[in-house]
Amino acid sequence: MEIKVVSGDITKLKVDAIIVNLFEGMESPAGATGAVDQALGGLITQLIAEGEIKGKLNEMTLVHSMGKISPARVVVAGLGKENELNLTRIRGVAAEACRFLRKVGAKRVGTIAHGAGSGGIDVEQSAQALTEGAILGLYTFRKHQTKEPDQKDVNELRIVEMDRKKLPELKRGCARGRIMAEATNLARDMANEPANYMTPTDMAEVAKKVAQDYGLEFKVLEKKDIEKLGMGALLGVAQGSRQPPKFIILSYTGTDPSKNTLGLVGKGITFDSGGISIKPSEGMGDMKGDMSGGAAVIAAMRAIGELKPKINVTALIPATENLPDGAAVKPGDILKAMNGKTIEIVNTDAEGRLILADALGYAGKLKLSPLVDVATLTGACHIALGDVCSGAFSNNKELVEKVIKAGEESGERFWQMPMDEDYKEQNKSDVADIKNTGGRWGGAITAAQFLAEFVGETPWVHLDIAGTARTDKEKRFLVQGATGVTVRTLVNLTLSLAQE
């Protein structure tokens, strides 16, 4: 979709439809909405008086202009209560309005910058949120469908502003919003791909193309390299698959190479059957998205390469399938991780933490600090937090607070979970250094405590996105399927660390 910032009168814009807005409880529209209302002979005011337009959040009312203004249609989008307006709501309203107009066949659309007037939202931030919402909300994954879609997509969006002095800020916000949203949609594309189209090799190829297109360094460790490094945990998970494992490395150098390098680690299980501890068949197809953490990290690196912050960042993505082959790892087996720790396999479906153990060990070898890992790690986290918040686990209060703040800026919610030492008891093994699962109770926490064994003293945050990586329905800027969660959070975190 083409998005441009233009100066002028929105009532004279040559588009199929325009989007204006209204706060809940307003009896007469003001600003740009007021100007449109006046040009329509007070029609919006009349509909407010009749109770058809209430301004409730995400309420969409379609008004036909009947030739009174250049756009054929006007959508009045409800912003909800004025004192509750924020960037997340702007993203959501933009997404809902664009999807609404897609259904009525509008291809060329104009909009005002929601909240940038009386709403008190920074102009640049409003443009960024609006752009993100439009691109994220109109996302579709139709790669494997041969039938043409019933609805034609919105292919042109114009953000209209009368005051020419505001154009530079709007353009900057629009440009950053596009980078953020398109990176998120890359992660969505990767996680929506069926596992036969997104093997570990395919995942490495995507990372390689991102590196070529956005000026990153790319390296992939093949099976023989992984063996030389002693990554027994990763190899143990991979031995049940005919697909060779890949250990993907993407690096961005934005400042003096001698300075600290932020480490981003993403789980790349391209299909998870559970292995010998096989999952129920119902819903197993969704396990093509068990590489959503790895996809998020690759996509975040794309945005970082495009935005060019003054910071060094290295991403590590261990990628493999988890399948129940005759050679697959079995319950009761013992694996040795790269850092020398031995792991008793209690359940082969607790495989994500195994591959992350070696990735975190490799991050230590590279002296990456701080570290953030992202993984669809535990059903326990999904049960605890539902599909609203992702779990955040950390050994460093300052770092986890920065991650949560970066999430708030992106409209992604994280809830910090406890990391008390007492939980470690559940991971103790009678035959090895540690078990790969501590049992049912506190499962998300014991999984995080398992990962902590391979981090040491490095400041670290673990993000469990098991409940938020996919959604079954459209809601605000999310659409059915993969959500691309944490991409924009990781980018925001990187930008804030670069400013420090």
Torsion of CA 184, 153, 104, 7, to 10 degrees: 80
Looking at 166, 302, 353, 476, which residue is catalytic? Answer: 353
| 172 flagged as catalytic | no
Contact partners, residue 340, CB within 8 Å, separation at least 6: 230
Count Cβ neighbours within 10 Å for each residue of 101-140 and write b for 16 or more, e otherwise: bbeeebebbbbbbbbbbebebebbbbbbbbbbbbbbbbbb
For residues 307 and 169, give the distance between their C-alpha atoms in angstroms, rounded to a whole number. 16
Tokens of 88: 């997340």
Residue 397: active-site member: no
Tell me which amino acid residue 466 is: A
Contacts of 320 by beta carbon, 8 Å cutoff, 6+ apart = 200, 234, 237, 238, 241, 243, 245, 246, 268, 269, 270, 355
Among 107, 279, 330, 336, the active-site one is 279
Catalytic residue IDs: 279, 353
